[in-house]
Amino acid sequence: MRILLDEMYPTALVKQLASHDIEAVTAVDLGLAGLSDYDLLEAAAAGGYVLLTENVSDFARIVAERVAGGEHHPGVLIALSSRFSRRPSGIPSIAAAIGATADEELEDQLVYLKDPSR
């Protein structure tokens, strides 16, 4: 699984995901910071990345529009801010939740992450 982290996520999450054998890169590292949500998903799809974000309102709409229009994407993972913290103490939980989806078919899906410790 290859993950593109939306710009709100720290580089520490990239390192934590590596411990789960998941390749990850941040939007900032790829020079994608500041792109519109639509363009970010477009870039993720073009690069073969599943996108991680907490922005459910915009991405739920964009994903639905893409799929309805016949456009495909590798998947979008939603880490709701009410469930996951982006602070250092929350990074292991986000990584574990992503790791729990590693064997799932994510293409064209929008998946809400669940904290495996709960």
pTM (two decimals) = 0.94
Domains by residue range for the chain, with CATH: 2-112 (3.40.50)
Helix (H) / strand (E) containing 2 = strand 2-5
**Angstrom distance (rounded) from CA 40 to CA 14:** 18
Residue 66 tokens, joined: 């893409």
Q: What is the pLDDT of residues 11-68, one digit of tens each?
A: 999 999 999 899 999 999 999 999 999 999 999 999 999 999 999 999 999 999 999 9
Report the mean per-residue pLDDT for the chain: 94
Percentage of the chain beyond pLDDT 90 is 92
Say whether pLDDT at 102 is over 90: no
The radius of gyration of the chain's CA atoms, rounded to the nearest angstrom, is 13
